[in-house]
Amino acid sequence: MHSNLKKWSAEFIGTLWLTLGGCGSAVLAAAFPEVGIGLAGVALAFGLTVVTGAYALGPISGGHFNPAVSVGLAVGGRFSWGELPGYVISQVLGAIVGGGILFVIATGKAGAAIGGFATNGYGEHSPGGYNLTAAIVTEVVMTAIFLIVILGATAKRAAAGFAGLAIGLCLTLIHLISIPVTNTSVNPARSTGVAVFGPDIAVSQLWLFWVAPIVGAIVGAVIYKALLSNGKDD
């Protein structure tokens, strides 16, 4: 139980940091007058939360910070199914707390308006007006690639010590590609953590950002196991 508490705590803190750091950069800094960090800055911020979290907390829990990643790792044989519920609950709670902290900060000035609050969406709630089909394809494919990178970078045959960097850079690239489509989820916890404080449409569309990333993670894990795994070296 003591070991589990440490793992759950690491997943809680890591997912809180991912949500606060990534979504916080979008809400607070992306469009700040004259010196805003823009889309590229937000993409980098999400990647940096994963890099820092992976190296600081990965040795404790594996550094999932994402229910879809936990499912994909279980499908890929790198994670116990029995541990999945505790991880997912910790991740979602961490994301909600991170979203709550961001909400307090974002509303802490006169005339504050949170707008979309870095929530994910499709159709009228897509940053670029992309439809449901585009959103599904984007989230499934991006999450599948993310899992392939994670499984490859953490394999025993991979270069030691570089997994966190590869995974963080992959998440940065995913955001550079897909922010205009869905505002980039690939993470049901991150989506939930801001949706509960955002506009009503974000909650009504939240189902997609649970289903598509988890399906994508399963697809990625199956592809890796079937085509790329080297058995004992994984």
**pLDDT tens, residue by residue, 30-79:** 988 889 999 999 999 999 999 999 999 999 999 999 999 999 999 999 99
Three-class DSSP category at 135: helix
Question: What's the full length of the chain, in residues?
Answer: 234
Q: Map out the domains of the chain with their CATH numbers.
A: 2-107+119-233 (1.20.1080.10)
Cα dist from 212 to 3, 16, 71, 139, 184, whole Å: 31, 22, 12, 6, 12
Contact 122, 135 (CB under 8 A): yes
Cα dist from 151 to 19, 81, 133, 139, 187, whole Å: 23, 16, 27, 18, 16
CA atoms within 13 Å, Cβ hemisphere of 58: 16
Contact 74, 27 (CB under 8 A): no
Helix then strand then coil, in percent of the chain rounded to 5, is 70, 0, 30
Three-class DSSP category at 85: helix
- pLDDT, residue 27, reads 96
pTM given for the model: 0.96
Residue 3: both structure tokens together: 């070991």
Is the pLDDT assigned to residue 230 strictly greater than 70?
yes
Is the pLDDT assigned to residue 1 strictly greater than 70?
no
Pick 112 or 145 by higher pLDDT: 145
Confidence at 233, pLDDT banded by 50, 70, 90: low
Question: 2-18 and 38-61 are packed helices; what angle lies between their axes, rounded to 10 degrees?
Answer: 180
Cα dist from 204 to 89, 96, 227, whole Å: 21, 17, 37
